[in-house]
Structure 1
Amino acid sequence: MSSGSASDGGNAINIDTMSLDQLNQLKSQQESRLEQLTAQYHQLRAVSARLSTAKAAVADAFSNTSSSNNEGRQIMIPLTESLYAPGKIVDANKIVVELGAGFFVEKSSKDAIKVLERKSKIVDANSENVLAAAEASSKNVEAVKGAMQGKILEIQARQQGRAFRNKVEGGE
């Protein structure tokens, strides 16, 4: 970002020509955008952690022992993040995996891990994009703050100049 401009969703804005009120409004918008991006980033990191946990659980439960040892094994099935139901492995060679948008498919443990790895790569790429956007938004906030400080100093200098001129004109 160059001096005197801020980026607003791909559009460069010349902040040098803006009034203090306009700068304040722009700063509020950029801070709000930064908060949203930060929240999105944290959500994506949480999803990435859940995918890593799921991948490790599948690898641990189905890859370390023979499939005949796993059949009939008691497990806890996650219904939500905090609600689990008891279950039993019926076919140790098949796992039901969510592909997204409520679509589920039966896969082998190796294929299930591949699906989880693919989802994890997508989430990680998205989180990097959101992080880059958040960093750019943070720079925009700082640029607007700097422009606001410059405007405030300019206003104060004008006021001091007027006061001095009034004093000189009144004292002559």
Structure 2
Amino acid sequence: MSSEPTQEVCQIDLTKLNLQQLQQLKNEFESELNVFQDSLQTLKIAKTKFDGSKEALEQINETWTDKEILVPLTGSMYVKGVVNNIDKFIIDIGTGYYVEKDITASKDYFKRKVDYVQEQMDKIDMLGRQKSKVLNGVIDVIEMKIAALQAQAQQAAAAK
């Protein structure tokens, strides 16, 4: 038995919906696509931060002991500091929690975070592409119905 949640797929014949219903459906899909885009942007920012932390760890070596560095207090304010231990790092794991790890565990942590965020980005991208295809189908049906209504109006005008 699978632990994955199952989703029941419901198919709707778009040609049986009226223009108002189609427009409402189109708006819902556009709204969902906007949420997906916002989520992807947020995940890209998180991935960049994790990548940056991982790359910073790659730069550290034994020659850094007693090295003077700048420690960021904010995005634009720094204080001088001295590296006195390159074997232990304090890592922000979210929501105000910090963990002390050695360099190997720290690198592993950031690699796992980057991989996880990328996996989530791939899932959202796939869902976005699926929603986009359905949205294009809805738009095609809307255009088809509008063209049919215009043709009908032209026939009615010609018949008078």
- The TM-score bracket by the shorter chain reads 0.7 to 0.9
| TM-score computed with the length of structure 1 as normaliser | 0.78
Matches within 5 A, 1:73-112: 73-79=67-73, 82-86=75-79, 87-112=81-106
Deviation at 1:12, TM superposition (A): 3.4
Partner letter of residue 82 of structure 2? K
Unaligned runs of 5+ in 1: 1-8, 168-172
| TM-score computed with the length of structure 2 as normaliser | 0.83
Partner of 2:15: 16
Higher Rg: 1
CA 1:84–1:124: 2 relative to 1, 3 Å: farther
Contact 1:44 1:123 survives alignment (8 Å) = yes
Partner letter of residue 136 of structure 1? Q
Aligned residues: 152
1:133 maps to 2:132: no
Amino-acid identity (%): 24
**Secondary structure of residue in 2 paired with 1:145:** helix
Distance in structure 2 (CA, Å) of the matches to 1:119 and 1:160: 60
CA 1:16–1:96: 2 relative to 1, 3 Å: same
Deviation at 1:152, TM superposition (A): 0.4
**Secondary structure of residue in 2 paired with 1:13:** coil
Q: Deviations over 1:112-143 (max 9, x none)?
A: 00000010110000000111111112112211
Tell me the C-alpha RMSD between the 2 structures. 2.1
Deviation at 1:40, TM superposition (A): 1.3
CA 1:31–1:79: 2 relative to 1, 3 Å: farther
Contact 1:76 1:84 survives alignment (8 Å) = no
Contact 1:27 1:144 survives alignment (8 Å) = yes
1:44 maps to 2:43: yes
CA 1:11–1:44: 2 relative to 1, 3 Å: farther
